[in-house]
């Protein structure tokens, strides 16, 4: 019998940012409303992403942002806060209107343009303990093919004394800064120091954001560069849950949360490690557990047949189905920085990397994945 199932792959993002969910569905399953968001006890704004899933016959990673009639979050005290669409498919709260708190119960409501109403199950925000410590270990690995690889393994010690709610998630995010030189960009996308055999050195063709223009003779500065510095994010590959480890009297030791490759890009300036401990309701915990099992099952000979993805989003006035998650979480975090001084050897120089010759001469937010010109939260 042919099996029909949907599976979700999630890539996590940034402190105070939303976990990015990509839905992959069987070609006989119609696209569904997908919801991705949470409320926490950290300062807002809180974001809710709403989109339509794609079909297998289409691009599997394609998500279609969805504009809806209204989005709101209500609590158990009778407050209702409307969210405004900031960009397509992303709805944000006004941080002055809503601040989550431990013990609060929250509910999401969405009404589409055609009048279909979706609501989440009520989500209670449970407390979470502080993280005890975050530390790292420099590591080397010699693959079967290629040179030795170096990097930092990031660990955490923590505890959980909340016996009423034992569900935890641990999240790792890395951020690093890079510098680009778009004022030196040439029409071929490389830099002015590159030699073109047919034409000789090419003249610069800087983008507007570089703050420079080419007069035909010299580069003239006309403003500040707004695309010379960027911050790039590294996300964890799968959710990390406390069910993965055995605890002793509520204590967890040497939890490995992430790996930071030791290269010149990440350690050009410094590397920020953000580790978060998040409380989860049982429903949210089960949602992330299925995602984790799916991620691990991809490379397993015994990949589980997981059936329909769990969700806490349901339509109240139609038979339409939805997927995704809205949850409430208390978050405790620790920030630490890594630098070249923490390693016993220098990183590989830029000029040994083929992409060096051209990538640094574009606007930096276009040259790198997961890059933004806005510094991340907590960057110092």
Give 32-85 pLDDT, tens digit per residue. Answer: 899 999 999 999 999 999 998 765 433 334 578 999 999 999 999 999 999 999
d(CA 372, CA 380): 16
For domain 7-127+277-332, give the CATH superfamily: Immunoglobulins (2.60.40.10)
Looking at residue 200, the DSSP 8-state letter turns out to be: S
**Chain Cα centroid distance, residue 98:** 23
Give 22-46 pLDDT, tens digit per residue. Answer: 444 444 445 789 999 999 999 999 9
Let me know: does 155 contact 149? Beta carbons within 8 Å. no
d(CA 96, CA 364): 33
Give 321-380 pLDDT, tens digit per residue. Answer: 999 999 999 999 999 999 999 999 988 766 555 555 678 888 998 888 889 999 998 999
Of 239, 233, 282, which is closest to residue 257 (Cα–Cα)?
239
* Domain extent listing, the chain: 7-127+277-332, 131-180+228-276+334-372
Can you read off the two tokens belonging to residue 294?
Answer: 């799916």
Give 105-142 pLDDT, tens digit per residue. Answer: 999 999 999 999 999 999 999 999 999 999 999 999 98
φ and ψ at residue 95, rounded to 5 degrees: -60, -20
Q: Does the structure show a pLDDT above 60 at 14?
A: no
Give 139-148 pLDDT, tens digit per residue. Answer: 999 888 888 8
| pLDDT, averaged across the chain | 83
d(CA 179, CA 232): 11
- Predicted structure pTM score: 0.81
Let me know: does 6 contact 27? Beta carbons within 8 Å. no
Give 150-200 pLDDT, tens digit per residue. Answer: 999 999 999 887 767 889 999 999 999 999 999 988 887 777 655 444 445
């Amino acid at each position: 019998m042919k099996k029909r199932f949907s599976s979700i792959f999630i890539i996590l993002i940034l402190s105070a940012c939303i976990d990015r969910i990509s839905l992959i569905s069987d070609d006989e399953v119609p696209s569904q409303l997908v919801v991705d968001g949470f409320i926490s006890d950290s300062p807002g704004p809180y974001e809710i992403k709403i989109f339509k899933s794609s079909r297998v016959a289409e691009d599997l990673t394609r998500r279609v942002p969805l504009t809806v009639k209204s989005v709101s979050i209500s609590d158990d005290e009778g407050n209702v806060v409307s969210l405004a669409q900031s960009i397509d498919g992303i709805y944000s709260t006004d941080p002055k209107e809503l601040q989550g708190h431990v013990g609060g119960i929250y509910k999401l409501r969405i009404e589409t343009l055609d009048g279909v109403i979706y609501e989440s199950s009520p989500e209670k925000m449970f407390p979470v303990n502080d993280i005890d410590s975050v530390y790292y270990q420099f590591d080397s690995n010699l693959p079967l093919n290629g040179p030795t690889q170096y990097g930092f393994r990031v660990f955490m010690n923590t505890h959980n004394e909340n016996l009423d709610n034992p569900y935890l998630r641990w999240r790792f995010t890395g951020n690093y800064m890079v510098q680009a030189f778009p004022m030196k960009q040439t029409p071929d996308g490389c830099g002015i120091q590159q030699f073109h055999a047919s034409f000789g050195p090419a003249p610069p063709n800087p983008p507007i954001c570089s703050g420079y223009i080419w007069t035909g003779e010299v580069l003239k500065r006309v403003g500040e560069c707004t695309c010379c510095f960027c911050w790039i994010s590294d996300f964890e590959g799968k959710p990390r849950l406390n069910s993965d480890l055995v605890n002793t009297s509520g204590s967890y030791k040497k939890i490995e949360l992430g790996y930071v490759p030791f290269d010149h890009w990440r350690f050009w300036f410094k590397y920020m490690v953000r580790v978060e401990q998040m409380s989860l309701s049982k429903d949210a915990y089960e949602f992330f557990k299925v995602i984790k099992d799916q991620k691990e099952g991809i490379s397993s000979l015994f990949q589980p047949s997981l059936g329909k993805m769990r969700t806490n989003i349901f339509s109240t006035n139609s038979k339409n189905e939805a997927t995704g998650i809205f949850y409430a979480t208390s978050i405790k975090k620790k920030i630490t920085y890594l630098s070249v001084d923490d390693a016993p050897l220098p990183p590989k120089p830029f000029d040994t990397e083929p992409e060096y010759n051209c990538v640094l001469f574009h606007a930096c937010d276009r040259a790198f994945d997961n890059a933004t010109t806005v510094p991340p939260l907590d960057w110092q």
